[in-house]
Amino acid sequence: MLRNISLLALLVIMCTPSKGVAQANCEEISFESGNVIMSAQISGYPVDALLTLSAVPVAIPRPLADALSISYAPRPSRLYLNSAGDRTRLNVVYDLAVNVFGNTIHYRDVPVTDAEDSTLILSLQSFSQLLVNLDFPSGQLCLFNENAIDLIDNQNIDIDYNVSGSRPVVNVTLNDEESVWLEFAPEYQGGVLLDPIIAREVKINHRNSAEASDQDTPHRYIEQLQFGPYRLFEVPVELTEPGALRGQRKSYRQRKAITGSIIKHGKPAYGKVGMAVLKHFEITIDLNSQRMHVYAPDTATTQSNN
């Protein structure tokens, strides 16, 4: 099992020519209101970047574009639904230079969003040609060359894409009985967000208000969650509205989805696994080949099967 994954990657990558992003690049990440934030620069100005796993590589809020005097214009061929549900032209920045990990990346046709804050939205799928290492306990994000870590032999959790091909999903086991695909969702602050159709098949435990008097004690929880080779206990769970995930699961039918240049059969997602679970792990992902390795440095909160 690949325990010291970061150290091994550093040793290998220092001897390996870079592909796209030079050498082993690491940045600190922080967690604010359930969001994963890192630092970036646009035209020399420091900005906060919200990390997502969206299929859209990067998006910029209108207030940030205006504050930095960045020009944008509508693209006649691109329509979207705004917050009021009206079809409108999508404004885009033709060429946005974003500096991350000490490298400047030029993004074309960057969508301008109606968000009120000034946080750049940056998808980790921008780096799909590299290995992404999310060390949540240490608060660090690193990018490595594809050949820095052997994820073929060291993969220890199944990963794929959802049926639309837009987001990664991981396979977990609930209460040692129900195997289910959930979206890998660091932006979700809870433990597990679950479709009621699955919740009916799995025992969900409840506590009353007196028993769950502090915020770290969940009112509703799953007794056990298998995440790769690790088991977590009393994982907080929330249920979606009935039918909220209908477009993601398609009644277990798999349909073809385009993920980058690969045409795959997507997996139906029945919910999300969020930061209350992911915060325990150092996670290395090959988004291009759909491989993942997870490691929990704190064995006091997890139980390994190995």
Domain residue limits, the chain: 27-144, 151-304
Instruction: At 64, list the tokens.
Output: 């940030």
**What's the pLDDT at 301?**
63
* Residues β-bridged to residue 87: 81
Tell me: the pLDDT tens digits for 101-151? Answer: 888 889 998 999 888 888 999 988 888 888 899 999 999 998 888 888 888
Helix (H, G, I), strand (E, B) or coil at 151: helix
**What's the pLDDT at 127?**
84
Average pLDDT over the chain reads 77
CATH topology of domain 151-304: Cathepsin D, subunit A; domain 1 (2.40.70)
- Whether 27-144 shares its CATH topology with 151-304 is answered yes
Other CB atoms within a 10 A radius of the CB of residue 18 amount to: 15
Tell me: the pLDDT tens digits for 58-104? Answer: 999 999 999 999 999 887 655 554 445 555 678 899 999 999 888 88
Contact between 140 and 27 (Cβ < 8 Å): yes
Of 191, 197, 181, 195, the C-alpha closest to 290 is 181
Q: What is the pTM of this model?
A: 0.75
* Residues β-bridged to residue 143: 25, 132
The answer for residues whose C-beta is within 8 angstroms of residue 258's C-beta and 6 or more apart is 165
CATH topology of domain 27-144: Cathepsin D, subunit A; domain 1 (2.40.70)
d(CA 74, CA 89): 6
